[in-house]
Structure 1
């Protein structure tokens, strides 16, 4: 198992790379070093050994973990929640009201992920362990969780990517843990001096209007930092909003054109990849850059969500 040192993001916040899909800088687990040791996101079950090792490198034991928060219940963010919770005897799991029952009974999550990932499902997500109901804490919009003398986290309902999605505001860093609502950040391009963020429009609850509303709520906060589900932190918060609001109508318009041509998500994924590739290559990024493999996968899943949204809208 290849591991990396946890990333030091802020005096009390680290990020453990979970190597989702076997890739570095894909998903991770945030560690907030407050009086009540708090983690945000577990990733899928194959990421659990990386969390364990990362905590060890930071000098923490599993019995010190008090809260594990998942922004939403998609398996790449919360698939390992039940498995990891088994190793943390003093921890509670914190989840959106619309996500709680699916952690207790993950059968529908499994069914949905199998439909998207097909034969890759087992290697990417197994095992998926139910979370005991008595270890769940549900937090609705505006509710809070005090994890230290000077830190009370606040939860914001933030649909658009999923209806079971909340974001977590950290008053100490004036930052927001945005899961997938503020898009996917591609740190692979950082060495090239580029800051790329694209909307995450995966099935089956993607809604562009809700996403834009959630982003407007972030804007109202005057944030200094965004902590992405995929991957890492940025202080270029206004640039994040601008990129997502720029690309979102492009994604939807391309989807409408594909449907009008009687074609499916494969064609949409190809068109979106070409649009993004054109922009990156104009900025000097080689067509052989590692980011394109990740973009191809992301845009395939995004295209499924866009087609699903448009077909529902037609009905």
Structure 2
């Protein structure tokens, strides 16, 4: 595995190889006296997280605060497993996510419905978090870590109702989880800075996503720290690309769903995926990104989940 990345301002990024893929999902580490991390990813990522801490000269037993932006399994599925190594840690979560970390049965049921026979390989085990170690952070709540760093929790629905973003006073940056989408750093070698919305089921809401993004944009931040994957020091591009792509995602979804009103959810999802993938590939072709680039594997994974979220949203609407 690669060494953790030093992002400056006392923040490091550990690649935790979600789904076994590099530069897919990361854990952020604050080098304060009160050792704090944001995101754990799923349980199969925990060995990578522990090795990353070791490479930084840190020990899991010294972690004080574990923060998850939301309870989707690729961000929080490994919390219970990690806690076995962290006797002194508390877990900070959105109020709407707290009960699902204490009793993950519904999370497990939902993930099994989507991932079926791949569930065990991708997510097992999903362990409950003891109630006394769970803290719900309301909109505007703060957490002081070290002398020079205050974290402020901002409720940012759109990707999920149980989502918050975290403003960091020291870096003037925001840890956005999936609120403003996914960053594809694999494309930087081709000179392209590329971000796409994350519209996964089952609480995707484009109006709420726009509102949350506008709220973050108004903070005049210098950095965006993505759940997938890494840091951007160009927030303007992040917000502009979200505004550009999100309406197109919904538009493709509406067109594909309207074309086959009597199809099954799966058939509609496949059609929407094909529409999204063709649109994104056409854009990347214009930018002269070779079709054999590794990034296509990740984009394919992401757009498959995005398609499910869009169909789910349109059917509920």
Normalised by the size of structure 2, how large is the TM-score?
0.97
Q: CA deviation at 1:11?
A: 3.5
Are positions 1:235 and 2:219 aligned together? no
Consecutive aligned runs of 4 or more in structure 1 exceeding 3 Å deviation? none
Q: 1:307 is matched with which residue: 304, 307, 311?
A: 311
**Alignment coverage as a number of residue pairs:** 311
Q: CA deviation at 1:83?
A: 0.4
Equivalences for residues 28-43 of structure 1 within 5 A: 28-43=26-41
Are positions 1:166 and 2:164 aligned together? yes
Contact 1:38/1:66 (8 A) holds in 2: yes
Q: 1:103 is matched with which residue: 92, 101, 104?
A: 101
Following the alignment from structure 2 to structure 1, what is the Cα–Cα distance between the partners of residues 315 and 19?
A: 29
2:127 matched residue in structure 1? 129
Contact 1:176/1:226 (8 A) holds in 2: yes
Q: CA deviation at 1:190?
A: 1.1
1:47-99 superposed Cα distances (whole Å, 9 cap, x missing partner): 10111111111011112110000000000000000000111011100000000
Contact 1:203/1:304 (8 A) holds in 2: yes
Contact 2:137/2:153 (8 A) holds in 1: yes
Q: CA deviation at 1:34?
A: 1.4
2:151 matched residue in structure 1? 153
Are positions 1:267 and 2:265 aligned together? no
Following the alignment from structure 1 to structure 2, what is the Cα–Cα distance between the partners of residues 287 and 15?
A: 28
Are positions 1:282 and 2:286 aligned together? yes
Equivalences for residues 112-261 of structure 1 within 5 A: 112-261=110-259
Normalised by the size of structure 1, how large is the TM-score?
0.98
Following the alignment from structure 1 to structure 2, what is the Cα–Cα distance between the partners of residues 117 and 245?
A: 30
Following the alignment from structure 1 to structure 2, what is the Cα–Cα distance between the partners of residues 153 and 286?
A: 40
Contact 1:28/1:230 (8 A) holds in 2: yes
Q: Which runs of 5+ in 2 are unaligned?
A: none
Following the alignment from structure 2 to structure 1, what is the Cα–Cα distance between the partners of residues 191 and 109?
A: 40
Q: CA deviation at 1:174?
A: 0.1
SS in 1 for 2:75: helix
Q: Which runs of 5+ in 1 are unaligned?
A: none
Following the alignment from structure 2 to structure 1, what is the Cα–Cα distance between the partners of residues 149 and 287?
A: 41
Which stretch has the larger CA shift, 111-120 or 169-178? 111-120
